[in-house]
Amino acid sequence: MKVLVANTAGFCKGVRDAIDITLEAIQKRSHNESICTYGPLIHNRQVLATLEEKGIHAVSRIEDCAEKKVVIRAHGIPPQDRHTLHQLGATLLDATCKRVARVHAAIKQHARRGFHTIIAGDADHAEVIGLIGYAEGRGHVVNRPEQIDELPVHWDKVLLVAQTTQNEEVFRRIQDRFTRRYPHGVVKNTICGSTHERQAEVRRLCERVEAMVVVGGYHSGNTVRLSEVAREAAIPTYHIETPADLNRQEMARYNLVGVSAGASTPSWIIRDVVQFLESIEPENGDYRLRLRRGLGTMAYANGWVPLAALMLSFAARALTGLPGTFASGLMAALYLFAMHSFNAYVDRGAVELNEPGRAAFYQRWKNVLAILSVGAAAGALWLSTDLGIPVFLAMLVLVTLGFLYAGPRILPHTLRDLPLVKLREIPTSKTLFVPLAWAVMLVLLPHLPSLLDGFGRVVFGSWVVFLLVFLRTALLDLAAVRGDRLVGKETLAVTIGEARTVGVLWGAVGVLILSLVAGPFVGLGTGFAILLLPAVAAFGWMLRESCSSRFKEEPLFETFAESILMGSGLLGLMWLGVAG
């Protein structure tokens, strides 16, 4: 089945900020500190369950917040509740969405001037309850145009606002009735811009697809509104929370399905739904879907890693002009496959959040993957013996370090406090250790016996390989940042944030371009360095696309990243063939 995913699907900025504030509080929490959220942080059961596992409980009674650090949820709370929390000795972390806070301010400003406030929304929704609190007892909630006529006609000061996730078409009809009844009333369309974009995109998608799947909590107001918008377009619409809510046989009737999601829906749940839909063979199947699934399976099995490593070994030889063998490239490929597969499996907690399809694949094939990982590591050790005892000993150390990186999950409790086992706890460790391992395996280790003979070229080659793989790794980590943060995985994006990571990556692109241009001129590399510039440009394109794409974590994104390295290796192989 072909699936079109809305670009606007997933967390809105307000929800992202609320989760980030909560995760930061968890990270900085002292030993005896108690943290809770007053009401559910967002309307998504899966995220709330993850926070519960980390000791962040949602409380419904305000008395239970006494003397605690309290996260004010994205929907906001009434001012009287805020005052009560202060009286109870609570420390507040305000995660109220900034757009909701602006509606608070507008209602408060007009209430002080004696205005009645009409709120177009759901009376029992958390956001609306908070908005009413700022109306100084003159607040009224409507969700149908006819309800405007039930209000007193003699009001001379009336303000109309909207719940930020209100259906735009419904608000327009309420506004029309309001302006007729209160010609001098004030109207503020406070529907969030994100809500506007989501609803508009759903309308556009409905013109192209046969059915629409909307993912999000059943109690999420903005998700319900998206479902209403899709149904108004008169196409089959399915509001679901997880793929388990879909019937495979029923969905097989469609060849092209659209997917959108509410502002509280994590990207990993959306991706799980997308992958479920793509796994369905429509009644008139498409070979492109089978090809897509095949590429995905290769990515899940880390099949691209050894191919990329082997091919990149040719690029490294062409870049430095130093001698090398196929065996040394195969040694690197086996080692990197072993380490990637093993660490990905033991990190399946983060994988389950970021890529449920991959997690299911690991669970199904865990024994095979474990055997292949150990066998590949043994093969790398065996090949290293042909390069001399120093290389073998270095490889033995690298294999040990690679397995110790996953130590906290595989070692007995008595050994988990060893310094080497704490490697994964170093900030940015994953993002930096992966390209470092590639550089060592592809350039440094094969030339260890004769390191002094071409030291400058080895350093230059290692630097270029490090930067290339750093771009590849950081892009994939940037894509998985939300799930990594929830499970405490140490990546660059988790440590410094998404915006700064993007800046670092653009800086790395610039540094790599300068290195490739300057290397041949100072005698550290061959003219092949210029042929690597398209690879840098491809990573730059991926970075630009990743900033706007919600689903850059999917297997095809990873496949494209690895294909850049494989393409560089193919150019290197051709260069060596011509030069040889």
Neighbours of 421 (CB within 10 A): 17
- Asked whether the beta carbons of 156 and 184 are under 8 A apart, the reply is yes
Query: Nearest to residue 321, comparing CAs of 515, 564, 579?
Result: 579
**What are the backbone angles phi and psi of residue 256, rounded to the nearest 5°?**
-135, 120
Helix intervals (H) in 326-421: 326-346, 348-354, 356-364, 366-384, 389-404, 407-410
What is the Cα–Cα distance from 86 to 100, expressed in whole angstroms? Answer: 21
SS3 category, 119? strand
Name the DSSP class of 441.
I
Distance of CA 29 to the CA centre of its chain: 24
**What are the backbone angles phi and psi of residue 134, rounded to the nearest 5°?**
-95, 0
What is the Cα–Cα distance from 257 to 237, expressed in whole angstroms? Answer: 10
Residue in the structure block whose two tokens are 């440094």: 444
- Asked whether the beta carbons of 510 and 540 are under 8 A apart, the reply is no
What is the Cα–Cα distance from 477 to 549, expressed in whole angstroms? Answer: 14
Lay out the sheet containing 91-94: strands in order across.
Answer: 57-59, 35-38, 69-72, 91-94
**For this structure, is 127 an active site residue?**
yes
What is the Cα–Cα distance from 35 to 59, expressed in whole angstroms? Answer: 10
Name the DSSP class of 74.
T
Residue 6 CA: distances (Å) to CA of 13, 266, 271: 16, 14, 12
Name the DSSP class of 573.
H
Neighbours of 145 (CB within 10 A): 17
Q: SS3 sequence, 132-201?
A: HCCCCCCEEEECCHHHHHHCCCCCCCEEEEECCCCCHHHHHHHHHHHHHHCCCCEECCCCCHHHHHHHHH
Q: Which one from 63, 67, 127, 498 is the annotated catalytic residue?
A: 127
What is the Cα–Cα distance from 284 to 261, expressed in whole angstroms? Answer: 27
Name the DSSP class of 387.
G
Catalytic residues: 127
